[in-house]
């Protein structure tokens, strides 16, 4: 199909020739407002669709990880002068397996950076008892994202989740008893044996529970995962691409009709500007194994190995495995694609960032996408059209798969 072909060519122009190698020296960020994405590499079990290297939580290993995170944070506080951390996002793995550890890290961030901003935590429904929620709330966590994935017990079992639908619903009700100002849930679509009626059932419950945000991610089928092996052997069947498109359109229609607005390709919210994910700032620092950072046009990745991560920091070195410096042209293209994931691109923000016109600098990307009806210009914004949403979702899914496979480190 010509539209998909041209969109794929556009993605290749932006991402296809990024050479990753041994990283370069860090320099101070261009902006003074950064976010921290702290990756917790522990899980109760490995989900059958997940390729991340995760580890079972136990106290001794957890203590070594916490000490190393503190050392990495201290390194950045020394290397990057006069910066303000505006948000802290704990991503997984599963941060909620160690609520006391989350609180310990938050306190360290406060001491190092005089931090008083937003704190968001990803969580597993199984972990969300009164004790854990009180620890998180007392630590200042105000935003929580819960990995529900599905409310169909058969589908949950197929994707290797330990919780059932009753556990997830109980956890969501329990979270609402605490003083969190933003509750997000993760759901997935295009899952094994999933039908549109299953998805609508999940959305109905989420809306009735009045959660402020609902993120809906398509399954990314990755070689090396259990689901991939089962699909390849024919023992498990995924929805067809047309069904996936119908699912995506159903999500948008159902949630927008229920009072939610799109804040990103795969995320809708009742108050979309009240929530920040880990990568939505111009620049961000990734802390922990397999964490990404973007500082001053330098994109780099920490080692995925927890053992190597701890060893590097014990030796006084940052645990960076690889990185790349973007040229001015590449930086503009990446900035545009990142913002487009969030539905709209602000032309004035582009000018403030690069001191040039987006229509002139990126015309070879913008003009074909506009002619195909994927984007449109509204006053000072460039936005994805309704037609463009699913094409952008499919392209993002393919790109995510490429990046995950490129930087995957076997167990």
CA distance 8 to 391: 10
Q: Is the pLDDT of residue 164 over 80?
A: yes
pLDDT (average), residues 354-359: 94
CB atoms within 10 A of CB 108: 17
Could you tell me which of 192, 175, 250, 252 has the C-alpha nearest to residue 226? 192
Residue 376: pLDDT over 60:
yes
Residue 21 pLDDT more than 80?
Answer: no
Query: What mean pLDDT comes out for the span 104-127?
Result: 96
Average pLDDT over residues 370-383: 92
Q: Residue 2's pLDDT is what?
A: 56
Per residue in 359-369, pLDDT (tens digit) is 999 999 999 99
Kindly state the average pLDDT of the residues 266-280: 79
The CA distance from 120 to 86, in Å, is 12
pLDDT of residue 40: 97
CA gap 104, 123 in Å, rounded = 17
pLDDT at 12: 61
What is the pLDDT, as a whole number, of residue 10? 61
Q: Average model confidence (pLDDT) for the chain?
A: 89
**pLDDT score at 338:** 87
Q: Is the pLDDT of residue 139 over 60?
A: yes
User: Structure pTM?
Assistant: 0.93
pLDDT at 221: 92
Least trusted range by pLDDT, from 18-22, 23-27, 271-275, 395-399? 18-22
Q: What backbone phi and psi angles, to 5 degrees, belong to 116?
A: -145, 30
Cα separation, 362 vs 147, whole angstroms: 37
CB neighbours of 352 closer than 8 A, spacing ≥ 6? none
pLDDT for residue 18 is more than 70: no
HSE-up of 209 (CA within 13 Å, CB side)?
Answer: 25
What are the strands, taking DSSP E only, across 236-387? 261-264, 267-269, 284-287, 292-295, 298-302, 320-325, 344-346, 375-378, 381-384
* Number of other residues whose CB lies within 10 A of the CB of residue 9: 12
Residue 408: pLDDT band (50, 70, 90) is low
Q: How far is CA 183 from CA 148, 174, 208, 209, 269, in A?
A: 12, 11, 13, 10, 10
Instruction: Specify the range with the lowest mean pLDDT, choosing from 21-30, 128-137, 189-198.
Output: 21-30
- In the chain, domain spans: 1-18+332-405, 19-274
DSSP letter string, 83-147: -EEEEEEEESS-GGG-HHHHHHHHHHHHHHH---SEEEEEE-GGG--HHHHHHHHHTT--EEEEE
Whether pLDDT at 297 is above 90: no
Mean pLDDT of 289-293: 93
Are 276 and 35 in contact, with CB atoms under 8 Å apart? yes
Residue 330: pLDDT band with limits 50, 70, 90: confident
Q: What average pLDDT does the segment 100-124 reach?
A: 96
The pLDDT assigned to 259 comes to 96
The two tokens of residue 278 are 């880990």
Show the tokens assigned to 364.
């070879």
- Across the range 23-39, mean pLDDT stands at 80
- Each residue's pLDDT tens digit, 50-68: 888 788 888 899 999 999 9
What percent of the chain is modeled with pLDDT above 90?
Answer: 70
Report the topology of domain 19-274: TIM Barrel (3.20.20)
How many Å apart are CA 106 and CA 103, to the nearest integer?
Answer: 5
| CATH architecture assigned to 1-18+332-405 | Orthogonal Bundle (1.10)
pLDDT confidence tier of residue 324, bands split at 50, 70 and 90: confident
Instruction: Kindly indicate the confidence band of residue 192, based on its pLDDT and cuts at 50, 70 and 90.
Output: very high
Mean pLDDT along residues 189-201: 95
Look at residue 107 and tell me whether its pLDDT is greater than 80: yes
User: Over 90: is that where the pLDDT of 270 sits?
Assistant: yes
pLDDT (tens digit per residue) in 377-394: 888 999 999 999 999 999
- pLDDT of 25: 67
């Amino acid at each position: 199909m010509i539209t998909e072909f041209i969109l794929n060519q556009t993605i290749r122009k932006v991402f296809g020739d990024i050479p990753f190698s041994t990283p370069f020296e860090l320099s101070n960020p261009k902006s003074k407002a950064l976010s921290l994405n702290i990756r917790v590499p522990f899980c109760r079990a490995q989900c059958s669709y997940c390729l991340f290297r995760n580890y079972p939580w136990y106290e001794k290993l957890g203590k070594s990880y916490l000490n190393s995170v503190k050392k990495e944070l201290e390194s950045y506080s020394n290397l990057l002068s006069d910066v303000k951390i505006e948000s802290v996002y704990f991503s997984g793995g599963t941060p909620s397996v160690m609520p006391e550890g989350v609180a310990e890290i938050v306190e360290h961030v406060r001491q190092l950076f005089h931090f008083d901003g937003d704190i968001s935590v990803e969580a597993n429904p199984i972990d969300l008892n009164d004790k854990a929620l009180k620890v998180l709330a007392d630590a200042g966590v105000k935003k929580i994202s819960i990995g529900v994935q599905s409310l169909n017990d058969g589908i949950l079992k197929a994707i290797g989740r330990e919780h059932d639908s009753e556990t997830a619903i109980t956890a969501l009700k329990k979270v609402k008893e605490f003083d969190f100002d933003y509750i997000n849930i993760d759901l997935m679509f295009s899952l094994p044996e999933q039908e549109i009626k299953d998805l609508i059932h999940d959305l109905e419950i989420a809306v009735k529970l009045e959660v402020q945000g609902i993120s809906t991610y398509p399954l990314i089928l990755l070689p090396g995962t259990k689901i991939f092996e089962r699909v390849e052997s024919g023992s498990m069947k995924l929805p067809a691409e047309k069904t996936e498109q119908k699912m995506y359109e159903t999500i948008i229609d159902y949630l927008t009709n229920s009072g939610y607005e799109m804040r990103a390709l795969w995320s809708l919210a009742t108050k979309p500007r009240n929530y920040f994910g880990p990568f939505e700032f111009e620049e961000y620092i990734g802390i922990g194994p397999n964490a990404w950072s973007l500082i001053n046009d330098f994109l780099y990745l920490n080692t995925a190995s927890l053992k190597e991560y701890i060893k590097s920091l014990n030796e006084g070195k940052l645990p960076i495995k690889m990185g790349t410096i973007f040229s001015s042209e590449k930086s503009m293209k990446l900035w545009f694609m990142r913002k487009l994931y969030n539905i709209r691109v602000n032309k004035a923000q582009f000018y403030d960032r690069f001191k040039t016109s987006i229509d002139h600098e990126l015309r070879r990307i913008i003009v074909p996408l506009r002619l195909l009806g994927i984007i449109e210009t509204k006053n000072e914004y460039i936005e994805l059209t309704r037609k463009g949403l699913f094409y952008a979702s499919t392209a993002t899914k393919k790109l995510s798969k490429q990046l995950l496979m490129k930087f995957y480190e076997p167990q």
